[in-house]
A and B are shown apart, each in its own frame.
Chain A
Amino acid sequence: MHAALELFKRESLAYLRSPLGYVFLVVFLLTTAASTFFLGGLFERDQANLRPFFEGLPWLFLALIPAVAMRLWAEERQSGTIELLFTLPLTLRAAVLSKFMAAWLFVGLSLALTFPLPLTIAYLGDPDWGVLFASYLGAFLMAAIFLSLSCIASALSKSQVSAFLLATLLCFAMLLLGWGSFTDTLALALPSPVVDGLANLGVIPHFQTLSQGVIDSRDLLYFLLMSALNLLLTAAVLHAKKAD
């Protein structure tokens, strides 16, 4: 337990001690602001909500979150420190969880740093704070899914670059699953209960409900269980590779 906390602390600080962490934050904030104002036309829409921000977020996460997770396991394996990690008084599951939580905390920090956006619309008009809260919660939970998927990729890869690419692919697949026209196309080839099930695994529909201001226990469970599932798979991959 103590070792897990230590690992968590060390990993969390690592993001802030490395200049790359700041590069990520700057890139994240620039792209979200640019996407919200220029692609989404926040100012021109004349509506006091952050829809342009949240609608673009899944795709921004797709591009940026693999970068946060790629170093988690691939770097350890590259530099050989992964053997050291296994000698610590710490189960593999706990290690996976600690590293994940650190990365999640970091992404949470980047989300929190988008606070100028809600401040902007609060200055311009009267936003619905309940919807904003639920949307940010949904964004944070959605990040968990992207992160946990990227962890699998990181565990599978020997280099950070391949971890990044694989993670992007996995996250993209997850985004497609919930996408209307993709599901329609699948329905042409696969039986309907299968398509149904696959569509339920997609992240966008669950995020959408939250971003409308509704906290549904099923969506919360989806985010938690899906992340847990991905983390279990991460641990499974690490165990399998450990045997080599």
Chain B
Amino acid sequence: MRMRSRFPSPRALQLTAAAGALLVLILSLNAAPFFRLDLTDEKVYSLSPGSEALIRSLEAPVDIKLYVSKSLAELPPVLQAHGRRVEEFLREFTGQSRGQLRLELVDPQPDSDDSIWASKYGVRSLPLGNGASAYLGAVFLAGDREVAVPFFDPRKEDLLEYEVAEALAKLQKTEDKKLGIYSPLPVGVAGQGAGGGREWIFLNRLRDFYELEVFASPPRSIPDDISVFILMHPEEADASLEYAIDQFVLRGGRLVLMLDPFSRFQLEQNWPESAPQPPEVSPRSSQLPRLLAHWGVSFDAETVIANRQQATRVENAGLLRENPAFLSLGAGDLARESVITSSLRQLLWVEGGAFDANGVKSGLSWEPLIQSGAETGLLPHTRNSQADPEGAAAAIGQDRKKRALAGLLRGRFSSAFAEPPPGSEHPQSFHRESRGENVVLLVADSDFLQDVYAIEPLQIGDQWVQKPRNDNINFLTNALAYLAGSSEIMRVRSSGRVQRPFTRLREIQETALTRWQAEEQTLSRELNSLAQEIAALQAAEAKGEGSAESGRVSAGVLEKLRADELRLRGQRREVRRKLREDIDALGYRLKALNLLCLPGLLSVAGLIVYRRRYRS
């Protein structure tokens, strides 16, 4: 009988021990130094040039105290992982700062001095439900200034770099620039209006950086302490308002002028949500005729720009429908060389207009910042695109070209007025010309700053946070930073996810649309008139007109009309189906190719091998 040795092979033990050593190594990987290679196109996971510039521009050393709970037993893994990510990121950030940034980690124990200091600094603790609280926040200290990031929210992970850069930027703010804003839209109104109008969120963001003065009525002159003024959607710009703006620019003030051919906000402000949208609306546009004419820039307040290829899916009565007047703009539509737009990636333009600066006056130059695609045409501004987005797409005018949606007007400005208009304030300090060079930002939309188009509310626990949907607000804040003179502070990317839609499908849709739209429109028109006829007949019957004889006749006519309607509907359904046909066909072809091609080839190869092996 063979004795089975009960002692395991020494070699086996050796190898197991080696495996154990590897296990320890793997477990300690997290604490090890590391390098990272970011292969994404947009370099989403590296420090952006904005952050790097910010670090370079630091004048005095900054201490960063990161309050992160590490030793808590009940710490949820999400917070743990995010805490590590924040720590890693801050290390990377400070590592690049050549000593200007110093990082200190604090793990506050409950009721300790650390936790008291944390709350003094404004770092929030997150209650974990069983009495314990977790910390994941930081305070940035420079001299006697301090800026806190109360909580690094794991759901805003892709905003991490932005939040840190923003804190640093706030710390750097040396002089308080005052910002003024006037708009007939209730942007800065808190607690007024039906249902309690809220201050638009973009104003909130501006308050972080500037002292803000919201003008309730059109100013007759802009106070001297205001460095930057935002005029948003001036509906009825009378001479005194234009004069105030004119003089503001001439004395060196920085102007942001937002004009809009179609204010969706004003349309929907008093419109009940559930009611269907009216197809035609009365115009709600803004204009600044004297100044623009004087500068040589034209703005057509009676047309809205639209582009099928840049159409956006917008919610419309519970469905998502592509609306060509809501333009999705990408990095390719933005000026790469400008500090304002170089780091932006996505904008949503909501029924805006465009500027034409071909006739800009000498002494001034035009630098477009945002342009729309080459296939941008016009729609009348009385047409409500949301009432029939597909119809709007078909109705876009034939004059299609790239259009400038926002830009900077630079140079030496002169007054548009020969003399101060009657009733103006301080007529004696009339500037006829600007002393030096100045710059004005012209923007052809106002709706893009609405909460619903710029922000996505996200709920974490019982709190609501606002996550940017796109770079709309960043565009404004970048522009203001530039105009206010603190242009070395560039914003970093806000969103880590960039849309990469199937462009080929859009192309196919385009071709299909041109082919079938004419037919679909004719059918729709016929259907509409038929419906009207039927309705008229029914109304006449209801009123009891005519005798029993004519009643029978009209019943026959009604039946025929109904049959016609059914037939036309069927035809229109066919056409609509055809619009999707090409895309569906492509889908089937691709799926079949992927599923059958290679597997088919390999099956054949396998069969050959099988026969060769087992035949003989």
Instruction: Please give the residue numbers on chain A whose beta carbons come within 8 Å of chain B beta carbons, in ascending order.
Output: 16-19, 21-23, 25-26, 29-30, 33-34, 36-37, 43, 46-49, 92-93, 113, 116-117, 120-121, 123-131, 133-134, 180, 183-184, 187, 191-192, 195-197, 199-201, 212-218, 221-222, 225-226, 228-230, 232-233, 235-237, 239-240, 242-244
Contact = CB atoms under 8 A, between A and B. Distances in A.
B49 interface: no
Of the candidates B14, B22, B38, the one having the most CB atoms from chain A within 10 angstroms of its own CB is B22
B26 A48 contact: no
5 contacts: A19-B606, A33-B591, A180-B78, A218-B32, A230-B19
Contacts of B29: 200, 218, 221-222, 225
Contact of A22 (B4, B9, B15, B602): B602
B22 A229 contact: yes
Interface of B: 4-5, 8-9, 11-16, 18-19, 22-23, 25-27, 29-30, 32, 34-41, 44-45, 72-78, 80, 499-505, 587, 590-591, 593-595, 597-599, 602-603, 605-607, 609-610, 613
Given A46-B502, A225-B26, A232-B16, 20 more contacts: A19-B606, A46-B505, A93-B15, A124-B502, A125-B502, A125-B503, A131-B39, A131-B40, A133-B39, A184-B77, A192-B73, A200-B29, A213-B40, A214-B40, A214-B45, A221-B26, A232-B19, A243-B8, A243-B9, A244-B4
B504 A125 contact: yes
A82 B403 CA distance: 75
Of the candidates B4, B39, B591, B593, the one having the most CB atoms from chain A within 10 angstroms of its own CB is B39
A226 B26 contact: yes
Contact of A218 (B30, B77, B500): B30
A69 B40 CA distance: 34
A233 B593 CA distance: 42
B75 A214 contact: no
Contacts of A92: 11
A216 B34 contact: yes
A200 B22 contact: no
Interface residues of A, dominant DSSP: helix
Contacts of B40: 128, 130-131, 212-214
B45 A212 contact: yes
Contacts of A235: 15
Contacts of B77: 180, 183-184, 187, 195, 199
A49 B41 CA distance: 12
A124 B39 contact: no
Given A187-B77, A239-B11, A239-B15, A215 B36 contact: yes
A47 B499 contact: yes
Contacts of B78: 180
A126 B503 contact: yes
Nearest to A38: B591
Contact of B500 (A19, A120, A128, A232): A128
A213 B38 CA distance: 6
Of the candidates B14, B72, B597, B602, the one having the most CB atoms from chain A within 10 angstroms of its own CB is B602
Contacts of B45: 212-214
Contacts, number: 190
A200 B26 contact: yes
A130 B40 CA distance: 5
A228 B25 CA distance: 12
A215 B502 contact: no
B22 A225 contact: yes
Nearest to A124: B502
Contacts of B37: 214-216
B289 to A, nearest CB: 43
A232 B22 contact: yes
Contacts of A236: 11-16, 19
Given A22-B605, A213-B44, A48 B595 contact: no
Contact of B606 (A23, A34, A222, A225): A23
A151 B36 CA distance: 31
A226 B24 CA distance: 11
Given A22-B602, A116-B594, A229-B19, A214 B38 contact: yes
A26 B34 contact: no
A33 B596 CA distance: 9
Contact of A30 (B8, B15, B599, B613): B599
B8 A222 contact: no
Contact of A43 (B41, B74, B591, B597): B591
B587 A30 contact: no
Contact of A124 (B504, B591, B594): B504
B26 A222 contact: yes
Contacts of A214: 36-40, 45
Given A26-B603, A187-B77, A200-B26, A240 B12 contact: yes
Of the candidates B8, B74, B76, B591, the one having the most CB atoms from chain A within 10 angstroms of its own CB is B591
Contact of B36 (A16, A26, A217, A239): A217
Of the candidates A22, A117, A217, A240, the one having the most CB atoms from chain B within 10 angstroms of its own CB is A22
Given A229-B23, A232-B18, A37 B591 contact: yes
Pick the 10 closest A-B CB pairs, nearest first. Answer: A22-B606, A130-B39, A236-B15, A213-B40, A240-B12, A19-B610, A215-B37, A239-B12, A124-B502, A48-B500
A201 B30 CA distance: 11
Contacts of A113: 598, 602
A26 B27 contact: no
Contact of B609 (A22, A29, A200, A216): A22
Contacts of A222: 26, 29
Nearest to A137: B39
